[in-house]
Amino acid sequence: MSNTVFSLFSGAGGCSLGFKQAGYSVLYASDIDEATGKSYSVNFPETQFEQADINKLDFRSLLSKVRIKEGELDILIGGPPCQGFSTAGARFWDDPRNELLKSYVKALRTIRPKWFLMENVEGLLTAKDGQYLFETAKALISLGYRIRIEKIYAQEFGVPQRRKRVLIVGNRLGKDFNFPEPTIKLNGKIFRNSDITLKHTIGELPEATASKDVELPYHIPPKDQFETYLRGTSCSIKEHFCPFMSETQLQRIMALSPGQTMKDMPEHLQHESFKKRANRRVMDGTPTEKRGGSPSGLKRLIINEPCLTITGAATREFIHPLYHRPLTIRECARIQTFPDDFNFHGNASEKIQQIGNAIPPLVARIFAEHIRDEYGFVGGILTNGGLIGYSVTKAEAMSPALKKTCILLDSLTTNLAQGKLAI
């Protein structure tokens, strides 16, 4: 029997796909967004999907619905988005901005999965001077989970993209564990590694069409690096189109050489909104939906380098390294390691948002296989929780904000030893 998964905050299913590729059975998934739900249901017809607000879910009823008992689920995947600056200290759990996290903790308390994998943006590390992460870790530990917190670099796991995210992984089986070793060890030149590039990922795609309704027949090269994720040797390419561009838009794009941004454009082509964003600093902990687009505005990518982080703005701001147009939805999906036969539903804006919000399936698959093969799902139940370890940066120097976070995390171990962990 395959190992079992629930996915909360499932999105279109990037994490679910990785676990499915690793042989797991995703029994249940939920997300609040309608278009996202359609994407998920089409791609995972075997999974019971529910479009729902997690704050309104009855988790005991859910267990009965999917015919699984409390404590039997192997792993719960997906994590609540950080809702920005929240009240610290005693009032943390009363702050309405923390309702999603509160409901997530409730889900863990009720379902009691053997493992969980929780993903979030890098800003989680320093939100509210580390208090958000501290309170999150404290709650997870109080439920009996032994947890590890690390900032991971997706590029180190074969994703052709400079993507940094925070993962919190835990188990209540009493297992001390490590994260999987990177498949591509990077160091000083982490952002310009030449082994996983846009050339490998989108270089063989046919030129984009002008219409969103056209499907392009495409033969995948027999030794393509991403053959595993493309599932087969031939298919048709959907969502590989470029919307109409005005003369001014085209002039801006043509003015950029690989690696250049809107700052390098002639001044008469610089848009006022670009100038504002170029000088805007985003505070740590600001919710993703309030961050806006990339501060550099338009940027021409480099064919022999990995992509920048794919976000909901990628099809507006990332310019193809060779062609005078932005990236297509399908190119962004490939960069996130979604296969070409993965279908996204909704309008163009909703589709790219689903892609940008996803955990790259390749990363999810590597973690799914690592947990299953190295640690498994058998062990002592409801052991004392604890913080196994954390890693918040690769840099030799640490920012003052991260230092505050580390002090708080270190205090968890001290408080546990002294029996002072109170939620």
Domains in the chain (CATH in brackets) are: 4-188+362-417 (3.40.50.150), 191-358 (3.90.120.10)
Q: Is the pLDDT of residue 53 over 60?
A: yes
pLDDT band, residue 149 (cuts 50/70/90) = very high
Model confidence at 219: pLDDT above 60:
no
DSSP 344-383: --S-HHHHHHHHHHSPPHHHHHHHHHHHHHHT-S-S-SS-
| Residue closest to 57 by CA, chosen among 86, 28, 37 | 28
Q: Within 10 Å of residue 277's Cβ, how many Cβ atoms?
A: 18
- pLDDT greater than 50 at residue 105: yes
Average pLDDT, stretch 108-130? 93
Cα separation, 367 vs 201, whole angstroms: 22
* Tokens 């993209």, residue located: 161
pLDDT confidence bin for 379, thresholds 50/70/90: confident
In 60-206, at which residue ranges do the beta strands (DSSP E only) sit? 75-77, 115-121, 146-153, 164-171
* The residue type at 398: M
pLDDT value, residue 395:
80
Average pLDDT over residues 178-183: 93
How confident is the model at residue 85, as a pLDDT?
60
Residue 128 — very low, low, confident or very high, per pLDDT cuts 50/70/90?
confident
Residue-level pLDDT at 260? 92
Amino acid at 148: R
| CA-closest candidate to residue 127, choices 183, 70, 85 | 85
Report the catalytic residues.
Answer: 82
Helix (H) or strand (E) holding 108: helix 99-111
Instruction: Determine if the pTM surpasses 0.85.
Output: yes
Written as six digits, the tokens of 413 are: 């171990």
pLDDT value at 52 more than 70? yes
The DSSP output letter for 194 is S
Instruction: Count other C-beta atoms under 10 Å from residue 175's C-beta.
Output: 20
Which band of pLDDT confidence, cut at 50, 70 and 90, is reported for residue 407? Answer: very high
The SS3 assignment for 19 reads helix
Contact predicate 269/248, CB 8 Å: yes
Percentage of residues in the chain having pLDDT higher than 70: 83
Phi first, then psi, for residue 93 (nearest 5°) are -80, -5
pLDDT (tens digit, 9 = 90+) per residue, 282-324? 444 444 445 444 445 899 999 999 999 999 999 999 999 999 9
Q: What is the pLDDT of residue 220?
A: 52
The answer to whether the beta carbons of residues 242 and 328 sit under 8 Å apart is: yes
Task: Please count the CA atoms within 13 angstroms of the CA of 300 that sit on its side-chain side.
Answer: 19
pLDDT at 278 exceeding the cut of 60 = no
Lowest mean pLDDT among 280-289, 321-330, 385-394: 280-289
Place 84 in a pLDDT band, splitting at 50, 70 and 90: low
Q: Is 176 helix (H, G, I), strand (E, B) or coil?
A: coil
Phi, psi dihedrals of residue 325, rounded to the nearest 5°: -165, 160
Task: Examine the pLDDT at 170 and tell me if it is beyond 90.
Answer: yes
**Is residue 31 predicted with pLDDT exceeding 50?**
yes
Looking at every residue in the chain, the average pLDDT score rounds to 86
Sign of CA dihedral 122, 125, 127, 129: negative
* For range 177-204, the mean pLDDT: 78
Please identify which residue in the block is written with the tokens 């070793």: 181
* DSSP β-ladder status, 234-237 and 4-8: unpaired
